[in-house]
């Protein structure tokens, strides 16, 4: 009697399943951490924390831009926590952080390391979820 799966093939597939599960869990952990960082940063901007007010004064566009940035960070950070929207949220955050790095380098000075770290996290999530971007949303 022949079975559909032999014992040997079942043992060979176990590491593949474990890798997929580990990857999925790792991606979710990264999404939660990056989302938390953006929710905190956006919240500080909404709250009018003194360093954020000073930062946007140095940029020179006006405090209205602090609210726009906070809205983008909080809404895209929340998108990271919704499976169907995570890839789109990561793309929005990657673009936002690319602009933040450019702002640090060309306008206000200082270390662009914090936005670079958030850029790397956002790009990693967008890359890991790139299949969602290619599929039409239903």
Residue 65: CB atoms within 10 Å: 13
User: Across residues 78-89, what is the average pLDDT?
Assistant: 96
The domain ranges of the chain are 7-134
pLDDT at 4 over 90: no
pLDDT at 49 over 80: yes
Q: Quick one: pLDDT at residue 133?
A: 87
Q: Report the C-alpha gap between 83 and 95 in whole angstroms.
A: 20
pLDDT at 7 over 70: no
User: Across residues 66-86, what is the average pLDDT?
Assistant: 97
Q: Report the C-alpha gap between 137 and 135 in whole angstroms.
A: 6
Which tops the pLDDT comparison, 63 or 20? 63
CA–centroid distance for 9 within its chain: 37
Among 112, 101, 133, 114, smallest CA distance to 34 is for 114
Q: Quick one: pLDDT at residue 22?
A: 87
Q: Report the C-alpha gap between 16 and 84 in whole angstroms.
A: 24
pLDDT level of residue 19 (50, 70, 90 thresholds): low
User: Across residues 101-106, what is the average pLDDT?
Assistant: 96
């Amino acid at each position: 009697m022949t079975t559909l799966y032999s014992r040997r093939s079942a043992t060979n597939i176990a590491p593949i399943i474990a890798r997929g599960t580990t990857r999925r869990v790792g991606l979710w952990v990264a999404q939660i951490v990056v989302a938390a960082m953006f929710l905190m940063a956006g919240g500080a901007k909404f709250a009018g924390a003194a360093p954020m007010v000073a930062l946007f004064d140095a940029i020179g566009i006006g405090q209205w831009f602090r609210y726009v940035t906070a809205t983008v960070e909080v809404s895209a950070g929340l998108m990271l926590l919704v499976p169907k929207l995570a890839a789109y949220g990561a793309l929005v955050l990657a673009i936002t952080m690319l602009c933040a790095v450019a702002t640090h380098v060309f306008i206000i000075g200082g270390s662009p390391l914090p936005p670079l770290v958030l850029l790397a996290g956002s790009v990693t999530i967008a890359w890991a979820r790139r299949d969602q971007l290619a599929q039409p949303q239903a």
